[in-house]
Chain A
Amino acid sequence: MTDPHLASNSPRSPWREAWRRLRQNRLAVSCGGILIAIVLACLIGPLVTGQTIETQNLDLGATSPSAQHWLGTDPLGRDLLTRILSGGRVSLAVGLTATLVSLLIGVAYGATSGFLGGRADAIMMRIVEILYALPFIILVIILIVVLEPVFKLPRMAWLVSLFGGEGQIKLVVLFMVIGAIEWLTMARVVRAQVMTLRQQDFVSAALALGVPKWKIILRHLVPNCLGPVIVYSTLTIPAVMLLEAVLSFLGLGVQAPFASWGSLIQEGADNMETRPWMLVFPALFFSSTLFCLNFLGDGLRDALDPKAER
């Protein structure tokens, strides 16, 4: 496997080694390529198509794909490609932001719990177990129902304007709520990792030298968990995007005139009998993104942790 020519060069860091293993995984590399293409298209596309998500053309109505509108239009004559690409922005943004929120909470919670051990750990993990007893979507829906009116209170207006006004409330609530629920598994992953790390000599040494506990967690334990955290984050993004899409599909997430892949698929499902392209194209974008993220995550896991069983 290892190239003797390369191996004779200067010693390589574990990260370089992982990167080399990842590049050898053709499936993961092509998935990464497709992902980059989709992300770039979503970022640049809506600026180039010359349409906005709201540009209506009622005389045109719903048309199948043509040279003018590559992926067709919806009953209001809105260009589907533009809507899919800007919907992709929303879906990807929710995926990234909520994953980031869940990452911060999960790592902090898991590392603390695993490092403290004993009774504190037992209580903290019991809380996680309780939250696990219900499907995430039920908790998320309840939190959305409660938080949305909270954000509409007059005294929350400053916060809302911070996020860009009334229209963004739904999105901000989605980011926060999904992130606030999705950290549970991350906390478990990090805790398991920290539990094995804290037995090791360098942690005992730090403790003996009188390094404060929070500093041990931040400086010594968290960086050593980075591998599993990265792997699990890549797998959290598709899970979060799926959750957002289900919510939007059920009419509880992103709402008109904004679009996300979930709400576009929902519109497509309503129109599928006469306008199948409205269902097929958003579904295609969404599924291939999820597909690629999952395979990239698997590839990263194999690259960062070659010992792990598949």
Chain B
Amino acid sequence: MIRFLYNRLWQSIATLFAIITVTFWIIQAAPGGPFQSERAVSPHIREQMLAAYGLDRPPFAQYTHYLGNLLKGDFGLTTKYEGWTVLEIIGGAFPISLQLGLLGMAFALTFGLPVGIIAAARKNSAADWLPMSISMLGICLPTFVMGPLLALGLGLKLNLFNVAGWYGWSDRVLPSLTLGLFYAAYIARMTRAGMLEVLSRDFVRTARAKGVSETAVLLRHSLKIGLTPVIAFLGPAMAGMVTGSFVVENIFQVPGLGQHFVSAARNSDYTLLLGVTVFYATLLVSANVVVDMLQAWMNPRVRLES
């Protein structure tokens, strides 16, 4: 287990380093500096601005400098929000996105898991096909269609929840719902498939033959194995939630990190773009390590393979 962890950790650090390098050089290739779009300033002021951001140095020196600063936890200054560091912006906006993501995930799990388990236990009954057909709809409707429709229906017509902002609990319902709905549907289907696979195995038949109650068969004997695909899906789900947060934060005016990333792209704020990308990469790569650990813990065969 320790060795497995050690190997995975080194791999992740190498991946992270590669991502930072690739992203840095892609952004470096953009023509014109970050001050291109602003009103013309006299050459010596421009030089001072470039020097202040360290952009007057040769590219490779900038790269090593950036890497060194990253190790110290310094992501640099943004070029469009004057006086703000990238880290301050991430620190201010990420907790909001994190809360949104956790609420969405919590919603997806509290709905997806029970629905999937019940559907598997009552295969081919109304408790199976009805939620499964609805979940197909949840998978096919993209977030940016679902979000406005939910806002229109539940928010504006029925007046149940707020549709914009991020102040009280009423603001948090619709964004989390929109973000989590796809994953609730997907997890429900995966849970059902995983449980059905386990329920057809010999040891389940043995347990039933010995008179173990159906609830115990489901929850004690099958659940841990049946959920393996769902656990494996949590890594991609995290990445998907980052993408989803771009859209959901845009629809519901949530001041999270996704909004900042998109506006950094619109304003060509290169340092912010790079910093947020590095941050997302760190987040997702470490999330994948955690997911792998969970899988190895739940299924010994995984840790023997590597």
Contact = CB atoms under 8 A, between A and B. Distances in A.
Interface in B265-301: 265-266, 268, 270, 273, 277, 280-281, 284-285, 288
B148 A130 contact: no
A279 to B, nearest CB: 6
A291 B151 CA distance: 22
Contact of B19 (A130, A249, A251): A130
A110 interface: no
B18 A130 contact: yes
Contacts of B280: 134-135, 138
Given A130-B22, A134-B277, A283-B145, A273 B247 contact: no
B26 A146 contact: yes
A20 B152 CA distance: 44
A91 B64 CA distance: 41
B250 A250 contact: yes
B246 A137 contact: yes
B140 A142 contact: no
What DSSP secondary structure best describes chain A's contact surface? helix
Given A133-B285, A246-B247, A252-B266, A150 B148 contact: no
B211 interface: no
Contacts of B284: 133-135
A252 B268 CA distance: 11
A310 to B, nearest CB: 9
Interface in A254-310: 262, 265-266, 268-269, 272-273, 276, 279, 283, 286-287, 290-291, 294
Contact of A279 (B148, B262, B268): B148
A150 B242 contact: no
Interface string B230-261: 00000000011011001100110000000001
Nearest to A156: B31
Given A130-B15, A134-B19, A245 B250 contact: no
Given A134-B284, A283-B149, A142 B26 contact: yes
Name the interface size band of chain B. Answer: 35 or more
Contact of B30 (A149, A249, A251, A290): A149
Given A141-B261, A249-B144, A294-B140, A134 B30 contact: no
Name the interface size band of chain A. Answer: 35 or more
A290 B140 contact: yes
A223 B148 CA distance: 44
Contacts of A129: 15
Contacts of B1: none
B63 to A, nearest CB: 16
B95 interface: no
Contacts, number: 117
A283 B262 CA distance: 22
A128 to B, nearest CB: 11
Given A133-B281, A135-B240, A146-B26, A287 B265 contact: no
Contacts of A266: 144
B130 interface: no
A283 B142 CA distance: 9
B266 A291 contact: no
B144 A137 contact: no
28 contacts: A130-B18, A130-B22, A134-B280, A135-B242, A137-B246, A138-B261, A138-B277, A141-B261, A141-B273, A142-B23, A142-B273, A142-B277, A145-B27, A146-B29, A149-B31, A149-B268, A150-B30, A250-B250, A251-B266, A265-B148, A268-B148, A269-B151, A273-B156, A279-B148, A283-B149, A287-B142, A287-B145, A290-B140
Given A138-B243, A251-B262, A276-B152, 18 more contacts: A134-B280, A135-B240, A135-B243, A135-B280, A142-B26, A144-B265, A145-B27, A145-B265, A145-B268, A146-B26, A242-B142, A250-B246, A265-B144, A269-B144, A273-B152, A283-B148, A286-B145, A287-B140
